[in-house]
Amino acid sequence: MQKKAFKSNNSFNGRKKWNNGPRNRNTSNNRNGKSAEKLGVSKYIRKATNISTPKEYIPVNQFLDFEISTQLKNNILARGYVKPTPIQDQAIPAILQGKDILGIANTGTGKTASFLIPLIDKVLKNENEKVLIIAPTRELVLQIVDELSAFSKSLNIHSAVCIGGSNMFKQIQTLKRNPSFVAGTPGRLKDLINRRCLNLSKFTNIVLDEVDRMLDMGFIHDIKHLISLLPQKRQSLFFSATVSRETDILIKDFLNNPTKISVKSGDTPENVDQDIVRVEDKSKKIESLHNLLIKEEFKKVLIFGKTKRGVEHLSNSLHARGFKVGSIHGNKSQAQREKTLKLFKTNYLQTLVATDVAARGLDIMDITHVINYDLPATYDDYIHRIGRTGRANKAGKALTFI
């Protein structure tokens, strides 16, 4: 028997103005040159492989081998990290050597730790070092800072979160304490700079995470502006799942003889079983979804919709049918988004309905299914959506409504 659903406290009424326009201003010029609708259904069908016997990666290094502080090593072990992933094994030594990095990696490969660990060590050894981390979404920024807090436990390292949807005054007060790490989204960082609350000339390290996504979201001019305010002498770390023409321009302009590390195994995870759900009658679409969600194996499901209004409507409809469901999208306050994500992570909610705000960076364990209720705008968006399942070499399932 299903428990009472989590009811969104952001339901709309006639006075609510919904902004259904996508933040992504470059959809028509996506990297593949084709919209997802034009790709054909074959792109969404692929049987999973290597689920039971994934090829084991043999790292060159162990975490204990890295030339980093003992307390930092202890914090790494406390997090349960034993053997580095490929991106960690290759990136950490290069970053410790002071090299600029271009990291190309699939989602869920452990790249956050690959840049946080050496940068924390760098700050520990020189209190004048300051790190700026830029990511495309609020959720990814918060996730990075959570990892930072765990790795830097008891090391007296302070950080500031600079994201929209949260109290600006509190962020300004945190910046006044001169934190070693500042992590934020491009828009809020730019706002704080314009208010003269953030001076990037003091930052000797920059991390751009999910570069391709930020460019897709139309942030290229903001990113160029932010980088132009940094000192010429700095260490720059760029991480991306793909390298487009726009990404390549940033690389040439802002990276100094970078070390390229590519651990990308393919477009889509091999351990995610991909299939389609054909719906002939659009009015029966939610019935098809209902019939899937009541199945025993659909234990923890992430559903993607195209628009904010559509996502909220679908969430409300599933709630009315008795499902334990919540939603996140751009019209939710940051507090609402964080609350809903927490309920989903802790398994209070069976189902989370989201726009592509949840397609990047969210690291939620044991998502059994990703459902594309609405087709993604680009194939790259599809890749990142289904990357939310099948993490840590576990089996996953992705279904796309056609």
275 within some domain:
yes
Same domain, 243 and 295: no
390 within some domain:
yes
Same domain, 45 and 149: no
Same domain, 163 and 247: yes
Q: Tens of pLDDT along 286-322?
A: 999 999 999 999 999 999 999 999 999 999 999 999 9
pLDDT value of residue 1: 40
Lowest mean pLDDT, pick from 37-41, 76-80, 105-109, 359-363: 37-41
Bridge pairing between strands 181-184 and 159-162: parallel
Domain boundary among 235, 262, 289: 262
Torsion, Cα of 218, 220, 223, 224 (10° steps)? -150
Same domain, 281 and 159: no
Six token digits for residue 321: 């049918």
Whether the per-residue pLDDT at 32 is higher than 60: the answer is no
Same domain, 323 and 228: no
pLDDT value of residue 89: 95
In order, the DSSP letters of 177-195 are T--SEEEE-HHHHHHHHHT
Q: Tens of pLDDT along 215-234?
A: 877 888 999 999 999 999 99
Domain boundary among 243, 262, 281: 262
| Mean pLDDT, range 83-108, rounded to an integer | 91
Whether the per-residue pLDDT at 30 is higher than 70: the answer is no
pLDDT bracket for residue 393 (50, 70, 90): low
Same domain, 72 and 205: yes
Cβ(129)–Cβ(157) under 8 Å?
A: no
Whether the per-residue pLDDT at 186 is higher than 60: the answer is yes
Q: Tens of pLDDT along 337-346?
A: 889 989 999 9
7 within some domain:
no
Six token digits for residue 233: 């002498």
pLDDT bracket for residue 385 (50, 70, 90): confident
Domain that holds residue 276: 27-52+271-401
pLDDT bracket for residue 271 (50, 70, 90): confident
18 within some domain:
no
pLDDT value of residue 224: 92
pLDDT bracket for residue 59 (50, 70, 90): confident
Same domain, 116 and 43: no
pLDDT value of residue 212: 82
pLDDT value of residue 2: 47
Cβ(370)–Cβ(389) under 8 Å?
A: yes
Whether the per-residue pLDDT at 244 is higher than 80: the answer is no
Q: How many domains does the chain have?
A: 2
pLDDT value of residue 269: 64
Q: Tens of pLDDT along 350-384?
A: 999 999 877 666 778 889 999 999 999 888 788 87
Rg of the chain over all Cα atoms, to the nearest angstrom: 21
Same domain, 135 and 213: yes
Q: Could you tell me the CATH number of the domain that includes residue 348?
A: 3.40.50.300
12 within some domain:
no
9 within some domain:
no
pLDDT bracket for residue 394 (50, 70, 90): confident
228 within some domain:
yes
pLDDT bracket for residue 395 (50, 70, 90): confident
In order, the DSSP letters of 237-252 are EEEES---HHHHHHHH
Q: Tens of pLDDT along 156-174?
A: 999 999 999 889 999 999 9
The per-residue pLDDT of the chain, averaged, comes to 85
Same domain, 230 and 334: no
pLDDT value of residue 50: 54
E strand map for 47-106: 101-104
Same domain, 228 and 107: yes
19 within some domain:
no
Whether the per-residue pLDDT at 68 is higher than 60: the answer is yes
Cα–Cα distance for residue pair 163/157, rounded to 1 Å: 20
Same domain, 172 and 82: yes
Same domain, 192 and 287: no
Domain boundary among 262, 287, 303: 262
pLDDT bracket for residue 5 (50, 70, 90): very low
82 compared with 98, residue with greater pLDDT: 98
H helix and E strand count, the chain: 13, 13
